[in-house]
Structure 1
Amino acid sequence: MNKFGAYLKTTAFRNTILLAIGAVIAVVLIAFFSLSFYTNHGEGIPVPQLKGLPANKAFDILKDQGFEYHVDSVYQLDKAPGSIIEQDPDAGTLVKQNRIIYLTMVSGLAPNISLPDVEQTQYISAVATLKNFGLKIDTTYRSDIARDMVLEIQFGGQVIKPGTKIPKGSTITLVLGDGAGASEVEIPDLVNQDLDAAKFVLHNSGLILGEIQYRGAITDSNNVIVVAQSPMKTDSAIKVSNGTRINLIVTQGKKSDGAN
């Protein structure tokens, strides 16, 4: 044991250890530089900037610089069809010639989606759901007690049901309740009233001004009176539904004295 301890203190032992460490370092350096030489480490072609370019132009650039490419397509409403929106590797990355560059291109064909079920839901909730499906929204109202409730959905003037396939990005119309319900109002007597006064009465009654027919020449638009209306109040018809259209026939003249 004393002899081994004495050997550890000798110059020969230290030289042996140093030679072993040097040999390991030499082997690592040789392997590193050999691998770098074999793979041309640090050398390569920078990937060109392709995002935002038309696909055909991007393809030509890649071919001219010796790259291969693979293309996937997605549909986006706010991007020009046929444009490149993503690339991998990023622009400026050093890669080998013939490397495959992965591109994402905007498709010009909108995919079909299934209309989500938003009937009998409130407008705000329905809009949030429909926008997540990439749909545009228009609205119209119908007499119904449920205010801002989606009563039905229309596309191209036709009623469509949940699950119907329509192109993403399409504009659909939500038919909403106006909160008035199916309540009825009394038919006002508009005969012998000024036209402006008749319009005011209809608006306040929840009725809609329909077609106006002019009888005879009208030379003074400030003096026009109603001479007939449809529908009109009768013994058998006193009320109509809220939102009913009232058609008027008018002529030149003034409201008679004593008329209501």
Structure 2
Amino acid sequence: MKLFDNITKRSFGYNILVILGLMVVLGFIFFFSLSFLTRHGEVVTVPDIRGKSIEQATAALEKLGFEVEVRDSVYIDTLQALLVYEQTPERGDVVKVNRTIYLTVNKVIPPMVPMPDLEGLTFRSAEMTLKARRLNVGDTIYKPDFATNTVLQQLLNGKPIKPGKEIPEGSNITLVLSSGTGSMENPVPEIVGLTYMEAREVLAASNLNVGIVLFDGGVTDTLGAFVFKQLPARRNELGELNLIRAGESVDLWLSSNRPVRDSLLPPQQIPAPQE
């Protein structure tokens, strides 16, 4: 009460001066202590903690006075799970102490992504498409075909993989690429009389492709159907061997009945089997 009485007995101007003096004193105390509280002028070089576990990275950063926060996660197939992949600020940056270092760590379980359709794309386009889905180009296998350096087939673990199928991010995709047609010509193989499955094996062994496949009305089992005509044929009308380059195609006509071979007729004149 005495303090209140003393204040009220002073003039208004005197009280204002006292209040202003107190504000100035408090201001000086605040600004002089600010550098101490914020450790102004103290800087530290950010260490490289990539590839370390979260525990190791946190201990190393906190020892230097940093705060640590896991901000994001990614999946990198070449990096062990729960190791630091990226850091912000980056290694070598000079920053104030007490700065928060944000970490990006590697996921434990890879996310699933849909397999893109690569067939018909150039190798470069296929590679870019895979990278956009966080998939990798595995082995490349070359096979003779017309469209040089285009994707003929896409494989995962040695088996064809259909577009749209969900696969783990980081998977290695094997690409079967076209090497173009060969420069040398070889005789057309004889496949009339073989089943469709046998014909495909013979053509593949000769680096040839199956072209157009036509059926007669009685075919119910495609693989077991018989080839009764091929184009190009083994021989021409003069009995000379037709030649073909690796990577070219042979068209097939299939029937449910094995064709009757006539040694007097060239293959292209063998009549179609009768029902």
Larger radius of gyration: 1
TM-score in terms of structure 2 length:
0.46
TM-score in terms of structure 1 length:
0.48
